[in-house]
Amino acid sequence: MTDADAMHRTEAESAQGAAPPWPDRDLSSITGPWPPPLRAAAALAMASPQPMWLGWGDEAACLCNPACRTILGHHPEPGRPAGEVWAAAGDLRDLLAAARRGEARTETRVLPIDRGQGPEKVAVTFALGPVLQADGTACGFLCVATLGAEAVRLPGEEADAVLRAAAARKAFLADLSDALRDLDDPAAIACAASSRLGPHLNLARCGFAEADSPGEAVVVGGDWTDGSSSVTGVHRLDSFGAFVAGALRSGRPAVVRDVATDPRLDPAHRSAYGALGVRAHVATPVLRPRGLAAVLFVHSASPRNWSEDEADLLREVAERTCAAIEAARATRALRDSEAFIRDILQASNDCIEVLDLDGQLRFMSEGGQRVKEIGDFGRLAGESWVRLWPPAARRLAEAALATARSGGVGSFRAQAPTETGSPRFWDVVISPIMDPQGRSARLLAISRDITTQRHAEAALRESEARFRNMADSAPVMIWTTDAQGRCTYVNRRWREFTGRPPAEALGLGYLSAMHPDDVPPARDMIRTGQRPERAEYRLRRADGSWAWVLDAATARHSPEGAFMGYIGSVADITDRKLAEERRALLVNELNHRVKNTLATVQSLAAQSFRLGQVDRAVRKAFEARLMSLARAHDVLTQQSWEGARLDDLARRALTPFSTDPARLSLRGPALWLPPRIVLALAMAFHELATNAAKYGALSGPDGHVDLSWEATRMAGERRLRLVWAESRGPSVEPPTRQGFGSRLIEHGLANELGGEVEIDYCASGVICRLDAPLPTEGNE
Amino acid sequence: MTETGPAGIAGKRILVVEDEMIVAMLIEDILTDLGATVVGPAARVNRAIELLSAEPVDAALLDVNLAGEVTTPVAEELRRRGIPFAFATGYGAAGVPPGFADQPLLQKPFQERDLGQVMAQVLA
């Protein structure tokens, strides 16, 4: 094509009235304020068949003449910025700036120009010159655009198409990259890619599907369609047929030009594609080392001869989309992980600091600033870390720093106040942060506030010291065990007493100081965990002699209630034991003497009565009384003279008279009586029973004696109420004179017990009532 | 004053070992009344054993404790000789020397009747 042709065509178009010709348009709104030279230049340009345009003002507003249509393909609105109108010529800013300064310039640009057979690349020379006013200043500029002799033509139509396709592809990819760059959501990225690709390739449907982790299925989160149905959802790879699945797995695109005729598709899959209205398609895989990562699919409603260029473009789009999604995920993961670390740093009550190798403080965690009560970290940044410690701690800090600097882990504990002056104790660990080459690059110092722990430790130490002081000054032996019965501590007294070092007592060592006969029960106790509150055993003294000891133990429990073992004290009770033994001997001796004395008295009496020819009845009564006294002593002897139970005493006293429960019943609580009362009551029972046997209930075959008692409490005093009641015996008459028995009961017993006793000679049977105070409890 | 005692005692020679003088006298009186001949009384273990070797004895009544001296050797000697005997004690059954728990026992103080019964049991 020649310039002449172009001219000719422009004229022809004008003649056809395709656009309103200049100067039919009213330019007065623009030209009104124009200086005359500019107005003259505009008139000249408008009339010229050569493409020309006029620029003025700061934005280089632009007025194109009708011939500009040859280059631009249209006639732009007057007054729009030149940079915008001539955008196809590339960046004109330098050129326009020079023109505004009044300089003349010539520059050639290559522009796509469509002369009815698709766009062509044509060289266009822009010649700019200023429009000068009378004072010599520029009021605008005039540009003459020439396609003339300098016009460049590419050789051949094919090459031109290649060039255009490459440009279009480059522009598309650049646009895609721009669109994806700022997206951080994988779904949005997939959507942005398919919504650009679909119109660009004039598709029916396309989408970006990510593969699941075993690479067996793909997930279509969203697809672009020209109005066809969507295929969002999960699709098994094998559901596309062996050909497609196989290609995708091996990383090759599956290209189908016509679904209806492609022999590689089996009928089932063919009809499946048909149902979706897919006639041609390309599935482009993205492979990663772990396998299939994603598939970019494009569908066409009609058979399509996919070109190599298109296949390349799809590969590029698939790769870029996948990379953008991966980058977005990585960014998000990094952001999450950074947020995570930030949260940790903020939440941690440890003060985490980063120093450079010179020991200058570079970073302190938010949590650290909180615990160190630092108002403004900015003031501390860059300070010497060691100098931030109080003078007393600096030597330790310096040493730990040096250790970390040489690759080791330094640590120390020191006191340092917070910035606001609260005293604190810190546990500090400082270690190197390695660079990828394994050299110390920076140092990490972690300071933990252990003030509370130190106070607790100090309190515990003090408490233990107090316990030991107390335990060591105690006059008894003190020990503790753990929950398994192993000794964990013995006090000084144990050491002094046994003459053994405390270490020998630990564990089960204390058993070796015990008498061999006492060890088995002690072992049983440990085995079963059943420890009585008090235990007596023999312990070897330092001089080798055996001591009887009383060991009193109490279980120890933690504040949470867990059993922790026992604590116990051991007292020497040898003296008490000896006294007990002596007392037992004395009691035995006493028993012997009493019995022998009674035997002697009885013998004396028996022989006196023999010689004195005393009445046989008198002699028998005396002997019986003596025997009843002896039996009462028997009861006491059995209890080591500590007393006796009332029922034992009564049974023993009354046995010689009757053992038949039908004749004699005893009713009352178990009641412990001291020896004095035992003896007095024994004699009283004897007299009552003797009387009953002679004249009362026990004299006849049917009579009955009921002996009942109770212990009552009245005004804080314990009293014994006892009733001897006879029944079903012969009719009773009061005695005419008071005999020994009734005297002993009514006077002797009442006096002895400090109580009241009355005998009632009812006709139906004798009733004897006793009401006497009991000694205070304690022996019961 | 005599009374009819249990059968089997009359005519027997009974060794009495008792250190309480008055008690020994009473035992002697009662046994004599019952028609027995008293050997002793012996107040010491040695004396009792001497009497056993020196005189024929049909039965014996043994106080367990002679002023701190336990009469076990006498009991063993009696058992060796096959002579039946009873213990007399103020301690009750608990006072009998070990190994002689089955021997008849006279609980002190005793009544005339008790002594007769125990000796009749020994000689039965």
Residue in A585, A591, A594, A596 to test binding to B, most B beta-carbons within 10 Å: A596
Average of per-residue pLDDT across A1-22: 41
| CA–CA separation, A512 and A267 (whole Å) | 96
ipTM score: 0.72
Average of per-residue pLDDT across A723-727: 93
Q: Determine, for residues A595 and B110 on separate chains, whether the beta-carbon distance falls below 8 Å.
A: no
Q: Determine, for residues B26 and A626 on separate chains, whether the beta-carbon distance falls below 8 Å.
A: no
Closest CA to A288 of A255, A329, A333: A329
Q: Determine, for residues B1 and A601 on separate chains, whether the beta-carbon distance falls below 8 Å.
A: no
Q: Which three-class secondary structure string do you get for A146-158?
A: ECCCCCCCCCCHH
Q: What band does B7 get if pLDDT is binned at 50, 70 and 90?
A: low
Q: Determine, for residues B1 and A591 on separate chains, whether the beta-carbon distance falls below 8 Å.
A: no
Q: Determine, for residues A603 and B25 on separate chains, whether the beta-carbon distance falls below 8 Å.
A: yes
Kindly report the CA angle at A128 between A125 and A131, in degrees rounded to 5?
155
Extract the tokens encoding A747: 């006077």
Q: How far is CA A206 from the centre of its chain?
A: 48
Q: In A, what residues contact B, Cβ < 8 A? A: 591-592, 594-596, 598-604, 606-607, 610, 613, 623, 626-627, 630, 634, 637
| CA–CA separation, A326 and A318 (whole Å) | 12
Q: DSSP for A31-80, please give it.
A: HTT--HHHHHHHHHHHH-SS-EEEEETTTTEEEE-GGGHHHHSS-PPTTE
- What is the reported pLDDT for A117? 59
Q: What band does A13 get if pLDDT is binned at 50, 70 and 90?
A: very low
- What is the reported pLDDT for A508? 86
B56-92: buried (b, 16+ CB within 10 Å) or exposed (e) per residue? ebbbbbbbbbbeebebbebbebbeeeebbbbbbbbbe
Q: Are B55 and B10 in contact (CB under 8 A)?
A: no
Q: What band does B86 get if pLDDT is binned at 50, 70 and 90?
A: very high
Nearest CB to B65: which of A592, A610, A634?
A592
Q: Determine, for residues B109 and A592 on separate chains, whether the beta-carbon distance falls below 8 Å.
A: no
- What is the reported pLDDT for B84? 92
- What is the reported pLDDT for A155? 53
Give the orientation angle of helix B112-123 with respect to helix B21-33, to 10 degrees.
70
* Residues of chain B neighbouring A594 (CB-CB closer than 8 A): 90
Q: pLDDT tens-digit profile of A225-251? A: 988 888 888 888 888 888 888 899 888
Instruction: Using the predicted structure, report yes or no on whether residue A5 has a pLDDT greater than 80.
Output: no
Q: Determine, for residues B65 and A623 on separate chains, whether the beta-carbon distance falls below 8 Å.
A: no
Helix (H) or strand (E) holding A515: none
| CA–CA separation, A578 and A593 (whole Å) | 22
Q: Determine, for residues B91 and A592 on separate chains, whether the beta-carbon distance falls below 8 Å.
A: yes
**Residue A600 to chain B, least CA–CA distance (Å):** 5
Q: Which residue of A has its CA nearest to B106?
A: A599
**Residue B50 to chain A, least CA–CA distance (Å):** 25
Q: DSSP for A311-346, please give it.
A: HHHHHHHHHHHHHHHHHHHHHHHHHHHHHHHHHHHH
Classified as helix, coil or strand, A608 is helix
Instruction: Using the predicted structure, report yes or no on whether residue A118 has a pLDDT greater than 90.
Output: no
- What is the reported pLDDT for B100? 85
Q: pLDDT tens-digit profile of A127-150? A: 888 888 888 888 888 888 887 544
Extract the tokens encoding A399: 């040493």
Q: pLDDT tens-digit profile of B51-77? A: 999 989 999 999 888 877 888 899 999
Closest CA to B118 of B108, B104, B103: B104
Summary mean pLDDT of chain B: 84
Helix (H) or strand (E) holding A505: none
* Residues of chain A neighbouring B26 (CB-CB closer than 8 A): 602-603, 606-607
Q: Determine, for residues B20 and A634 on separate chains, whether the beta-carbon distance falls below 8 Å.
A: no
Classified as helix, coil or strand, A641 is coil
Please name the residue that has the structure tokens 């631009």: A72
Instruction: Using the predicted structure, report yes or no on whether residue A779 has a pLDDT greater than 50.
Output: no
Classified as helix, coil or strand, B68 is coil
Q: Determine, for residues A595 and B91 on separate chains, whether the beta-carbon distance falls below 8 Å.
A: yes
Q: Which residue of A has its CA nearest to B18?
A: A596
Q: Determine, for residues B108 and A596 on separate chains, whether the beta-carbon distance falls below 8 Å.
A: yes
Q: Which residue of A has its CA nearest to B112?
A: A606
* Residues of chain A neighbouring B111 (CB-CB closer than 8 A): 602, 623, 627
Q: Determine, for residues A603 and B92 on separate chains, whether the beta-carbon distance falls below 8 Å.
A: no
Q: Determine, for residues A599 and B65 on separate chains, whether the beta-carbon distance falls below 8 Å.
A: no
Q: Which residue of A has its CA nearest to B91?
A: A592
Classified as helix, coil or strand, B49 is helix
Closest CA to A19 of A61, A55, A73: A73
- Beta bridge partners, A361, equal A355
Q: DSSP for A72-99, please give it.
A: HSS-PPTTEEHHHHTGGG---HHHHHHH
| CA–CA separation, A631 and A596 (whole Å) | 13
Q: Which domains does chain A have, with CATH numbers?
A: 3-153 (3.30.450.20), 175-332 (3.30.450.40), 348-449 (3.30.450.20), 455-572 (3.30.450.20), 580-773 (3.30.565.10)
Summary mean pLDDT of chain A: 84
Instruction: Return the higher-pLDDT residue of A204 and A11.
Output: A204
**Residue B3 to chain A, least CA–CA distance (Å):** 11
CB within 8 A of A367, min separation 6: which ones? A345, A346, A347, A348, A349, A350, A351, A352
- What is the reported pLDDT for B92? 66
Instruction: Using the predicted structure, report yes or no on whether residue A14 has a pLDDT greater than 50.
Output: no
Instruction: Using the predicted structure, report yes or no on whether residue B93 has a pLDDT greater than 70.
Output: no
Q: pLDDT tens-digit profile of A296-313? A: 999 999 899 888 888 889
- Beta bridge partners, A107, equal A126
Q: Which residue of B has its CA nearest to A616?
A: B1
| CA–CA separation, A203 and A594 (whole Å) | 133
- What is the reported pLDDT for A428? 94
Extract the tokens encoding A193: 């890619």
| CA–CA separation, A676 and A754 (whole Å) | 12
**Residue B91 to chain A, least CA–CA distance (Å):** 7
Closest CA to A689 of A720, A729, A638: A729
* Prediction pTM value: 0.41
- What is the reported pLDDT for A577? 86
Q: How far is CA A62 from the centre of its chain?
A: 72
φ, ψ of residue A466 in degrees (nearest 5): -65, -45
The pLDDT > 70 percentage for chain A reads: 92
Residue in A590, A601, A603 to test binding to B, most B beta-carbons within 10 Å: A603
* Residues of chain B neighbouring A603 (CB-CB closer than 8 A): 20, 22-23, 25-27, 109
Residue type, A401: L
Average of per-residue pLDDT across B35-51: 88
Q: pLDDT tens-digit profile of A641-691? A: 778 889 888 888 888 887 787 888 899 998 888 888 888 898 899 999 998
Q: Determine, for residues A606 and B20 on separate chains, whether the beta-carbon distance falls below 8 Å.
A: no
- Beta bridge partners, B17, equal B42, B62
Q: pLDDT tens-digit profile of A483-510? A: 888 888 899 899 999 998 888 888 888 8
Nearest CB to A607: which of B29, B89, B108?
B29
Instruction: Using the predicted structure, report yes or no on whether residue A15 has a pLDDT greater than 60.
Output: no
Look up the CATH superfamily of B13-123.
Response regulator (3.40.50.2300)
Q: What band does A8 get if pLDDT is binned at 50, 70 and 90?
A: very low
The lowest-confidence range among A150-164, A687-701, B35-49 is A150-164
Q: Determine, for residues B26 and A607 on separate chains, whether the beta-carbon distance falls below 8 Å.
A: yes
**Residue B36 to chain A, least CA–CA distance (Å):** 18
Q: pLDDT tens-digit profile of A604-617? A: 888 888 766 778 88
Q: Are A516 and A524 in contact (CB under 8 A)?
A: no
Tell me whether the omega of the peptide bond preceding residue A130 falls within 30 degrees of 0, making it cis: no
Q: Determine, for residues A623 and B111 on separate chains, whether the beta-carbon distance falls below 8 Å.
A: yes
Instruction: Return the higher-pLDDT residue of A149 and A377.
Output: A377
The pLDDT > 90 percentage for chain A reads: 17
Give the A:B interface size as CB pairs under 8 Å: 60
Give the orientation angle of helix A646-654 with respect to helix A616-638, to 10 degrees.
150
* Residues of chain A neighbouring B18 (CB-CB closer than 8 A): none
Classified as helix, coil or strand, A730 is coil
Q: Are B36 and B10 in contact (CB under 8 A)?
A: yes
CB within 8 A of A469, min separation 6: which ones? none
CB within 8 A of A694, min separation 6: which ones? none
Q: pLDDT tens-digit profile of A32-59? A: 677 888 888 888 888 888 888 888 887 7
Task: Please report, for chain B, the start and end positions of each structural domain, with discontinuous segments joined by +.
Answer: 13-123
Q: What band does A89 get if pLDDT is binned at 50, 70 and 90?
A: confident
